[in-house]
Structure 1
Amino acid sequence: MDTITRLIELARPAATVDKRCLLAGTTEMKIAPYGDTEAAFHFVLAGECTLELPGRTVQLKAGDAVLLASSPSHTIRTPGAGRVRPSVETPGTAFDTIRSPSDEEPVTDIFCGHYTVGSRSGGLLFRSLPDPLVVSFDPDDEAVRTLSTLMRAEALTEGPGTAAILNALSCALFAMMLRRGDLPGVAPWTAVTDSRIAAGIDAVLQDPGADWTVERLAEVAAMSRATFVRHFGRHTGTTVAGFVTTVRMMVAADLLTDRDLTVAVVADRVGYHSESAFTKAFRDATGQTPGRFRRDIS
């Protein structure tokens, strides 16, 4: 199983398309914060807009996808002449439609929604990503063009199954964002196109309980220790030890849902021979002890 597929299997994200925005002129749309287990996303199919976050502004254009792991309140604003106008929302069966308060032909087309993680592993995955994560796809890329076409077609139909299909397509968008290999220094999952670093990442995901020293991972990557450390840091923006711990905690969170496994067994499976050391690492990563985590999911 490849890295991205394994990550999504652990995280079990579910997608919901909340709005389709067809905007013209200078229009703004305010978006309320989402919950702790949710992450907002936006996918710009046409036109351009500004994403206004607390303390930061991001310019977006057609082909850009954004994931907001912390999902704070934010504003989408489209450029144009005249004063800024609030958007108008029309409720729908599968999603709501947001338009400018005028008869102008829309020039910006955006799908907005959120991902809900199906496991504590998903929360750890989101926290391992930059916030915001902005991926600029080529809108003429065949896969992106196909995805955009399918989303538009379903939005126009809005019939039986539209919500399910749009949500499934949004999950595909998430996988496409994770597998981008041209985002060096933001997260280990974006290094998958570097075959040497990818080999190390895959090895840890396949066997998180192994004794993954830097030397052993460098050997898997067919690189010297110093070269591996340098390349790993440049491609992932994290340390080897930090990456190994993140993977182990994601797998542990998944294993802890199986109540037939004791905490000691889970600890051993992810490379901790001391239950107390595992408990500390798990608490540092999630804010909960393994026991409390299990009680919360009961």
Structure 2
Amino acid sequence: MDWISEIVRLTRVQAMLDKRCLLAGATTIDIPAYGAGEAPFHLLLDVRCTIELPDRSVELVAGDVVLLPGGPAHRVRTAGAGGQGVVEVPGSAFTTVRSRSGRSVVDLLCGHYTFGSGAGAMLLRSLPDPLHVSFGRSDSYGRSDSYGPGDSYGRGDEVVRVLSALMRWEARNEGLGTATILSSLCGALLAMVLRASRNRFVGAAAWTAADDRRLRPVIEAVLADPAGDWTIARLAEVAAMSRATFVRVFARSTGLTVGQFRTQIRLMIAADRLIETDLTVAAIAAGVGYASESAFSRAFRLATGTTPAHFRRTAPSR
């Protein structure tokens, strides 16, 4: 099973590129907070910059992506004393932002993802915030490479380099279809971020990136059969580990307990079925492993803030 694609499908995510920032030194851009269900991201194509958050700063180099699941207000800053402003030029697909003076050296793409309620909101809450993936400083799929002369990305991840090149080319040659093409490329970027494993340069990875290959059959099994009797002992067998080792490795690799993961997958699938099918709430509850409708409703309300029935009534039309 391609479980990254399945998780992205469940979240009903939409991607949009908002701005291309071509910045000189000593430039600051203040970005207001996003709404519920919206997560801004930044992809740095050239040089360096800093993303200043309310409680920390994230240093980006070429090839870095940062996703902010909580959608907080933040600031983009380039190196240098002072803090000159910017000039924004709206376009048909996105806005181009330039420093008021100086030669543009920093090339930064800024956009956001909009996640559907239910599964999308659950995924956002489960991700590290910020989620910082460095495709330039190492290969986030498990291979480490150094920079090459004149090569901003090094040799770590050719796929992301090609994707970035396509995004840059489309941004430079804005025309018919650009908005759709960039949206699709930003969607591909999200899938790469979700599967990018932990590396020594940045913080925790998303749980979707489980960097121990023994855990991948576990994720696939629960997604394929959410109603299964997935006890810790049974999942440990799937992973070919002892129970104690499995619990320890799972928590270390995903940042979740086995119970949290199992509940999250079941409720994400349930939210999708509430929207996509006419099954009764009781049938959906049984289909994702709950012994009673009341137990399912309690868990669903705890995760989403609403009952399954209300969620179904207010969800976008099928």
**TM-score normalised to the size of structure 1?**
0.95
Q: Answer yes or no: is the 8 Å Cα contact 1:119–1:254 preserved in 2.
A: no
- Aligned length in residues: 295
Determine if the alignment matches structure 1 residue 227 to structure 2 residue 245.
Answer: yes
Alignment equivalent of 2:310, drawn from 274, 292, 298: 292
Q: Which residue in the other structure is 1:142 paired with?
A: 158
1:44-66 Cα deviation digits (max 9, x unpaired): 11111111111221111111101
Q: Distance in 2 between matches of 1:23 and 1:207?
A: 49
Q: Answer yes or no: is the 8 Å Cα contact 1:187–1:235 preserved in 2.
A: no
Q: Which residue in the other structure is 2:99 paired with?
A: 100
**Secondary structure in structure 1 of the residue aligned to 2:276:** coil
Q: What's the CA shift for 1:28?
A: 0.5
Q: Answer yes or no: is the 8 Å Cα contact 2:119–2:271 preserved in 1.
A: yes
Q: Answer yes or no: is the 8 Å Cα contact 1:255–1:266 preserved in 2.
A: yes
Q: Answer yes or no: is the 8 Å Cα contact 2:42–2:66 preserved in 1.
A: yes
Q: Answer yes or no: is the 8 Å Cα contact 1:15–1:116 preserved in 2.
A: yes
Matched to 2:178, the amino acid is T
Q: What's the CA shift for 1:259?
A: 5.0
Determine if the alignment matches structure 1 residue 262 to structure 2 residue 285.
Answer: no
Matched to 1:16, the amino acid is M
Matches within 5 A, 1:28-39: 28-39=28-39
1:104-124 Cα deviation digits (max 9, x unpaired): 221111100100114521111
Alignment equivalent of 1:189, drawn from 201, 208, 215: 208
Q: Which residue in the other structure is 1:280 paired with?
A: 298
Q: Which runs of 5+ in 1 are unaligned?
A: none
Q: Distance in 2 between matches of 1:196 and 1:125?
A: 22
Matched to 2:135, the amino acid is F
Q: Distance in 2 between matches of 1:63 and 1:214?
A: 38
Matched to 1:227, the amino acid is T
Matched to 1:92, the amino acid is G
Q: Which residue in the other structure is 1:122 paired with?
A: 120
Q: What's the CA shift for 1:167?
A: 0.9
Q: Answer yes or no: is the 8 Å Cα contact 1:41–1:66 preserved in 2.
A: yes
Q: Distance in 2 between matches of 1:291 and 1:260?
A: 12
Q: Distance in 1 between matches of 2:277 and 2:33?
A: 33
Q: What's the CA shift for 1:258?
A: 3.4
Q: Distance in 2 between matches of 1:265 and 1:170?
A: 36
Q: Answer yes or no: is the 8 Å Cα contact 2:198–2:205 preserved in 1.
A: no
**TM-score normalised to the size of structure 2?**
0.90
Q: Distance in 2 between matches of 1:31 and 1:207?
A: 42
Q: Distance in 2 between matches of 1:177 and 1:279?
A: 32
Percent identity among equivalent residues? 56
Q: Answer yes or no: is the 8 Å Cα contact 1:44–1:60 preserved in 2.
A: yes
Matched to 1:136, the amino acid is S
Q: Which residue in the other structure is 1:216 paired with?
A: 234
Matched to 1:215, the amino acid is A
Determine if the alignment matches structure 1 residue 163 to structure 2 residue 182.
Answer: no
**RMSD value, Cα:** 1.4
Q: Which residue in the other structure is 2:42 paired with?
A: 42
**Cα 1:110–1:7, aligned 2, differ >3 Å: closer, same or farther?**
same
**Secondary structure in structure 2 of the residue aligned to 1:109:** strand
Q: Which residue in the other structure is 2:255 paired with?
A: 237
Q: Distance in 2 between matches of 1:186 and 1:233?
A: 12
Q: Distance in 2 between matches of 1:61 and 1:15?
A: 23
Q: What's the CA shift for 1:185?
A: 5.3
Q: Which runs of 5+ in 2 are unaligned?
A: 137-152
Matched to 1:181, the amino acid is S
Q: Answer yes or no: is the 8 Å Cα contact 1:26–1:77 preserved in 2.
A: yes
Segments of 4+ moved more than 6 angstroms: none
Q: Answer yes or no: is the 8 Å Cα contact 1:181–1:194 preserved in 2.
A: no
